[in-house]
Amino acid sequence: MINIVIFGAPGAGKGTQAQLLAEKYDFLHISTGDLLRQEVAMETPMGLRAKAIMNRGDLVGDDIVVSLLSRALEHRSTLPNPDASLDPWDVERNGMPHRPEGCIIDGFPRTVSQAQTLEFLFGRLKRKIDCVVAIEVPRDELVRRIHERAAISGRADDTEDVIRHRIDLYDQQTTPVLDYYRVSGLLVSVDGSGEIAQTNNRICETLDMVMKIKSKQ
């Protein structure tokens, strides 16, 4: 089993790539952004707190994000009758028990503190992060992509000011996480400019190498 973290500034396409990779490699896909938006849509107390923060373009606090991520990793929200004897990564697919070949997380971690928390959460499951993929896209391209996405989806958190604020936050707070993973030898940077398929091919080449190495260990 291989566990991946996918990185990228807002507009880099990490969510799209994570979905494609999850389908290709049979990964459990966990998006903290999707988890947060689900809470907002359901208007839970946690969702209402997160909504105001997200609309400002700020990062949602660790207490909220970690709680959602921990719940997703342990499948506490997807198993209606959890059995303590079952591995939390055993899931149901098409009515049959199934264990994904790995996990891909996008939208987390965004700070070094969150990176350390993620290691703790995986350690609790007796697992570890095998590779961190950083999708690199020029800033002007990021702004253009988010503008296009906002025009299509009408997302309230994709206004001009919020877009630039989110990218600034990424540079200020998230970039140090890349250094953290670079030192650990887990970081791989991939060119994310160009078409979605081109970026996907580059990432797949990287993951194929990682899995080949892991299979020999």
Residue 14 is predicted with a pLDDT of: 92
Residue 79 is predicted with a pLDDT of: 36
Domain encompassing residue 6: 2-215
Question: Tokens at residue 129, please?
Answer: 């992060």
Residue 154 is predicted with a pLDDT of: 64
Only one residue has tokens 């950083």, namely 134
**CATH of residue 16:** 3.40.50.300
DSSP string, the chain: -EEEEEEE-TTS-HHHHHHHHHHHHTEEEEEHHHHHHHHHHHT-HHHHHHHHHHHHTPPPPHHHHHHHHHHHHTTTTT-SS--TTS-TT-EEETTEEE--SEEEEES---SHHHHHHHHHHHHHTT----EEEEEE--HHHHHHHHHHHHHHH--TT-SHHHHHHHHHHIIIIIHHHHHHHHHHT-EEEEE--S-HHHHHHHHHHHHHHHHHHHHT-
Query: What's the structural domain count of the chain?
Result: 1
Residue 78 is predicted with a pLDDT of: 39
Residue 24 is predicted with a pLDDT of: 93
Residue 82 is predicted with a pLDDT of: 43
Residue 198 is predicted with a pLDDT of: 96
What is the C-alpha separation between 209 and 217, in angstroms, rounded? 13
Averaged over successive runs of 10 residues, the pLDDT of the chain (217 residues) comes to 90 93 90 86 86 79 85 59 46 62 87 90 88 93 85 66 82 88 95 94 94 82
Residue 20 is predicted with a pLDDT of: 96
Amino acid occupying residue 104: I
The verdict on pTM exceeding 0.95 is: no
